[in-house]
Amino acid sequence: MTRAKTKKPAAQTSQWPVPADSVRYVIPEPIVQLLANHPLTRELYPTAFGHYRRAFGHHMHRENHRDNLLIYCTEGKAFLNVEGAPYTVTSGDLLLLPAGASHRYTADPDHPWTIHWVHYTGPLANEFHQYMGFRHGTLIRHLGRQPRLLVDFNGLLSVRQTGFRTKGLIHASNRLRQLLAAVPINANETGLARQAELDTIHNYMREHLEERLTLNQLAELSGLSPAHFATRYREQTGTAPIQHFLHLKVERACELLDSTSRTFADISRQLGYDDAYYFSRLFKKVMGTSPSDYRHTPRH
C-alpha cells in the first residue's frame, strides 16, 4: 500500500531585497512536493532558509502562516507581534513562529537584527517543537551565542549553487532534523554558575564509580536538601541523579566487558556491587540484555 501524495504550499518568505552579504534560498515548489512524499524526508523538510546580515528595513506580516519558521538572532534586535502579543527579539534569542500563527515583525531601525532562519514543515514538526522546549505558548528561548547552532544553520546553506539537486536537498532535510534535535543540547538557560555546578557533580560521579553514592552525598555538593537537589537536577537534565550515576556505572561495565576478559563478578565488585546478581539485573534493565549476552553478541 503506497502513501497518498500530499500537496504542500511553497514557503512564505519576505520580499525584503537581499543584499550581497545575505542569502535567501527558496526550494522550488516541485521539489517541495518531492520532499513531502519522499520516504527519507516526508516527516520533516525545509521549504526555504537563509542568513540575513544587519537586515535594515526587514519586515514581514503574515495572517495565514502555512509552515513553521525558526529564527536565530545573533546581533541587533527586532520587534515582533504574534496573535496580538508584543515581543522583542534580541541577540542570542531563538524564535519559533509556528504554522497558523498570525504575526508580524520589524527589524530595529537603529540596530537591525542579524539572523539565520529556516522555513519547514512535516508531521514531525510539532514533536520537535516540544522537544526543543517550545511548550505552553513559549515562542522565544534565549540560547546566547551558540557556535554549534550556527554550524547547523550554515549546513543547510551548503546546498547552494547545486542547481536544486534532489540528493542535496534530501541531505539538507536531514541536516534540518539534526539542527532541531541539537537545540536542547545547545540550550543553556541554567546559567554559567548552575552549569558549572552540574559539571562538578558529573565529574564527582565519574571519579567515584567504584562507590555506591547516595542522593544525600550528591546533594551536599550543591548545598541543597536532597529533595530540592533532585528536583533541580531533573529540571536541568531530564533524569534523576542516581539514575544517571547508575547509567555511568553500566557504561563503564560495558567498556570492561568489551575490552577485558574479567568476570562480571569482578567488574561488579570494582563498581561497588558485591552482589553481582543484583548488578546484573540493573545492567539488564538499562541495556535490555544480560552481561553475558552483551559480551557474546557480535558488534563488528
**Chain segment 10-33, per-residue pLDDT in tens:** 566 666 788 888 999 999 999 999
Are 96 and 68 spatial neighbours (Cβ–Cβ below 8 Å)?
yes
Looking at the chain, which residues constitute the CATH 2.60.120.280 domain(s)?
A: 23-186
Query: How is residue 212 written as a grid cell?
Result: 555506591
**Looking at per-residue confidence, does 9 or 220 come out higher?**
220
In this predicted structure, what is the pLDDT of residue 10? 56
CA–CA dist 160, 192 (Å, integer): 37
* Cα–Cα nearest to 94, from 176, 149, 18: 149
Task: Tell whether the model's pLDDT for residue 8 goes beyond 60.
Answer: no
Per-position DSSP letters for 218-258, written without gaps between them: HHHHHTS-HHHHHHHHHHHHSS-HHHHHHHHHHHHHHHHHH
- According to the model, what pLDDT value does residue 11 have? 64
Whole-angstrom distance, CA of residue 186 vs CA of residue 13 = 26
Amino acid 164: pLDDT:
85
CA distances for 276 relative to 149, 259, 279, 281, angstroms: 44, 19, 5, 9
Asked if residue 2 has pLDDT above 60, the reply is no
pLDDT digits (tens, 9 = 90+) for 219-264: 888 888 899 889 888 877 778 999 999 999 999 999 999 999 999 9
Q: Assign 270 a pLDDT band (cuts: 50, 70, 90).
A: very high
How much is the pLDDT for 191? 53
Cβ burial of 51 (10 Å; 0-12, 13-18, 19+) is buried
Rounded to 10°, the helix 166-186/147-156 angle is 160
Question: What is the structure's pLDDT at 185?
Answer: 78
- CA torsion sign for 49, 50, 55, 57 is negative
Tell me the sheet residues that pair with 115: 52, 73
- 194 pLDDT above the threshold of 80: no
- Average pLDDT over the chain reads 89
Mean pLDDT score, 276-295 = 94
pLDDT score recorded for residue 3: 46
The Cα–Cα gap between 105 and 94 comes to 14
Region(s) of the chain under CATH 1.10.10.60? 191-296
Helices (H), the chain: 29-37, 125-132, 147-156, 166-186, 191-207, 215-222, 226-237, 241-259, 264-270, 276-287, 291-296
For residue 174, give the C-alpha cell: 536531514
Residues in the chain: 300
Mean pLDDT of the region 152-161: 89
DSSP letter, residue 2: P
Position 189 confidence tier, pLDDT thresholds 50, 70, 90 = very low
Q: pTM here? A: 0.69
Q: Give pLDDT tens digits for 102-129.
A: 999 999 999 999 999 999 999 999 999 9
- Describe the chain by its helix, strand, coil percentages, rounded to 5: 45, 20, 35
Q: How confident is the model at residue 55 (pLDDT cuts 50, 70, 90)?
A: very high
Element containing residue 119 per DSSP (H, E): strand 114-121
Q: What is the homologous superfamily of the domain 23-186 according to CATH?
A: Regulatory protein AraC (2.60.120.280)
Reported as a pLDDT band with limits 50, 70 and 90, residue 135 is confident
Q: Looking at domain 191-296, does it have CATH number 3.30.300.10?
A: no
Burial of 258 (0-12, 13-18, 19+ CB in 10 A): exposed
Instruction: Identify whether the C-beta of residue 213 lies closer than 8 Å to the C-beta of residue 187.
Output: no
> In this predicted structure, which of 11-25, 47-61, 163-177, 210-224 has the lowest mean pLDDT?
11-25
Instruction: Assess whether pLDDT exceeds 50 at residue 93.
Output: yes
